[in-house]
Amino acid sequence: MQPSKVQKLRKKYQKFIYKGYSWKISGNNLKIFFNFQIKPGISFKPAITIKNINKPSIRKIEERVLNNFIFHLGLMEIPSYWKTTCSSEIEIQAGPLDKEQIRWWKDLIINGMGQFFYENNFDFTRPNFLTIKPDKQKAHLTRLNLVKLNEEKILIPVGGGKDSAVTLEIFKKAKKDIKCFLLNPTTAALKIIRISGVKNPIIVERKIDKKLLELNRKGFLNGHTPFSAYLAFLSSFLALIFDFKYIAVSNERSSNEGNVKYRGKAINHQYSKSFDFEKKFRNYSKKYLARDIEYFSFLRPFYEIQIAKVFSRYEKYFSVFRSCNKGQKKNTWCARCPKCLFVFAILYPFLGERKLVKIFGENLFKKKELLPIILELIGERKFKPFECVGTKKESLIGFYLSWKEVNRIKGKPFLLKYFEKKILPKYKNLERESKRMLNSWNNQHDLPSGLDKSLRSAII
């Protein structure tokens, strides 16, 4: 049997090294640089720029604490570069790791990169799959930030989709002191911030080393990495240097459901948005980063379809929000991917055809070529697409409520006509289940005391 591409790359490139990091204050910006190597002959030097920092505040932070956070940002950069060769050993020369940390990072790689392993047909269950080797010369010192952070301020990462817009609006209504954070801001994210009225967002620029793109073109391995885990570490660092106790991300309960089983393990495209990751990150952060930082997902008690219902009240965002990964660079909806169809289906019951056609440019329910996607979304074909979409059950309910919305009119669009004839007869209790889901509340969450009232009031 011929060795696979993965086997060839792992044999040639056996060691990935996190050599080090450096940082400097340049004007009003904090610039951070990382140094990675893959033996033999490959090196990467990605960089991050945090804009408009408060220099006196930075200087008040103990340098060991600052270095510890930056060291961890480098650890979180590793998956994006390690994946090119999947080297069997990761050597950490930049700082210390104890045994518990090593277990934590291996767990993140295994769970957070499941989709990557699946798509590259990679057996990550082998005993020799990965060794993380710390530098034994560096003594492990407690570098926790023990300073109390501002309990009145809440940091909200904003992408460009409906979820963070909902979080912003609910916090604004509750008159909370909020500030937004944008990483490599898209047009949609900037417009959402402008419309929300929240001033002076924190802007971070992350520069991928161009060599990574060159290796991708040359046929090295490529694929999904746990991006929301990266945001967790980065937003925690921002909370430290800008004095925020709370970080409110906008992940929902739908992200807990996986996509497919592979080599005996559930593969979840949204693992780093899941409650499992959230719990593990909170525990890690309080032990190794800062005891006072509270990282939580504000929308965790809700399904995506519940968030869509709340979002339908905020018409000012309809023309600017974007969730389509394929159309992100052009600030548009591609109108042919699973994400577009899912968002269309869960908004349709609350917005109707006219408003959605204005958003998407066309009625996606009329597109016959999307039939395979609807079947994947509801679990009737293959498996749930590798996209940030809701559970199979809520996709089913989204299509049911959409069908119910147009059931009174003649000439139903193709997808809903198919749904009526082929799907609907299989499910007898969708009316009851839809009401239950739209009014449900998940008690598995980390919301700080008091914030659940603001969220509950949004769904009632």
Per the rule left: phi > 0, alpha: psi between -120 and 50, beta: everything else, 175 is left
The pTM (predicted TM-score) of the whole model is 0.96
- Distance between alpha carbon 252 and the CA centroid of its chain, in Å? 11
Cα dihedral across residues 114, 116, 121, 124: positive or negative: negative
pLDDT by position in tens, the chain (length 460) = 456 889 999 999 999 999 999 999 999 999 999 999 999 999 999 999 999 998 888 888 999 999 999 999 999 999 999 999 999 999 999 999 999 999 999 999 999 999 999 999 999 998 889 999 998 766 555 578 888 899 999 999 999 999 999 999 999 999 999 999 999 999 999 999 999 999 999 999 999 999 999 999 999 999 999 999 999 999 999 999 999 999 999 999 999 999 999 999 999 999 999 999 999 999 999 999 999 999 999 999 999 999 999 999 999 999 999 999 988 889 999 999 999 999 999 999 999 999 999 999 999 999 999 999 999 999 999 999 999 999 999 999 999 999 999 977 767 899 999 999 999 999 999 999 999 999 999 999 999 988 888 899 887 6
Instruction: Please report, for the chain, the start and end positions of each structural domain, with discontinuous segments joined by +.
Output: 5-297, 304-308+316-438
Cα–Cα distance list, 389 to 87, 298, 321 (Å): 31, 18, 16
Exposure string over 325-345, b if 16+ CB within 10 A, otherwise e = eebbeeeebebebbbbbbbbb
What is the widest separation between alpha-carbon atoms in the chain? 75
Report pLDDT for 1: 40
Question: Token pair for residue 45?
Answer: 């030097």
Q: What is the CA radius of gyration of the chain?
A: 23
How many separate helices (H) and strands (E) can be counted in the chain? 17, 13
Assign 3-class secondary structure to 270-296. CHHHCHHHHHHHHHHHHHHCECCCEEE
Assign 3-class secondary structure to 128-160. CCCEEEECCCCCCCCCCECCCCCCCEEEEECCC
Q: Which of 365, 312, 348, 59 is nearest to 166 (CA)?
A: 312
Contact 243, 148 (CB under 8 A): no
d(CA 355, CA 362): 10
Find residue 156's DSSP bridge partners.
180
d(CA 162, CA 169): 11
Report pLDDT for 142: 59
In three-state secondary structure terms, 410 is: coil
Contact 324, 333 (CB under 8 A): yes
Residue 130, phi then psi, degrees to nearest 5: -155, 135
Find residue 247's DSSP bridge partners.
155, 295
Cα–Cα distance list, 76 to 71, 171, 341 (Å): 9, 29, 32
Contact 140, 98 (CB under 8 A): yes
Question: Token pair for residue 64?
Answer: 């060991």
- Distance between alpha carbon 281 and the CA centroid of its chain, in Å? 14
d(CA 105, CA 280): 11
Report pLDDT for 146: 81
d(CA 325, CA 342): 13
Omega within 30 of 0 (cis) for the link into 201: no
Report pLDDT for 139: 57
In three-state secondary structure terms, 16 is: strand
- Say if residue 27 is exposed, middle or buried (CB neighbours under 10 Å; 0-12, 13-18, 19+): exposed
Report pLDDT for 127: 85
